[in-house]
Amino acid sequence: MGNIFSVAQEEEKPPIDCVLCGKAITGVSGGYSNYFSMVCSKCKKRIQGHFHSECMSEYRQVAEQNGGLICPHCRTDTVQDKQS
């Protein structure tokens, strides 16, 4: 004996942006599994959020070269410094 309230309805999840590139994460069903929380080795601020696997792969390569993870803000500054 059920009624309309006994039917589980899945709520629509709001879009989540990748904390590394800023673009929407698409094609994810259920929970969001790609999540991290780390401290930037340059500014010492904590960065945390969901990410694309491809973005993290790129960031890991850069982190290995720089001796630590650099947040998107500091990375932009570093790129601009190199271009100047």
Give residue-wise pLDDT tens across range 8-38. 555 566 778 988 888 998 876 555 568 889 8
- Cα separation of 26 and 30, whole Å? 12
State the pLDDT at residue 1: 52
Q: What percent of the chain has pLDDT over 90?
A: 5
The model's pTM = 0.62
Cβ distance 25 to 17 under 8 Å?
Answer: yes
Mean pLDDT of 26-55: 82
For residue 68, which of 35, 44, 36 has the smallest C-alpha distance?
44
- Helix, strand or coil for residue 77? helix
- Cα separation of 12 and 73, whole Å? 30
State the pLDDT at residue 65: 83
Check whether 52 has a pLDDT greater than 80.
yes
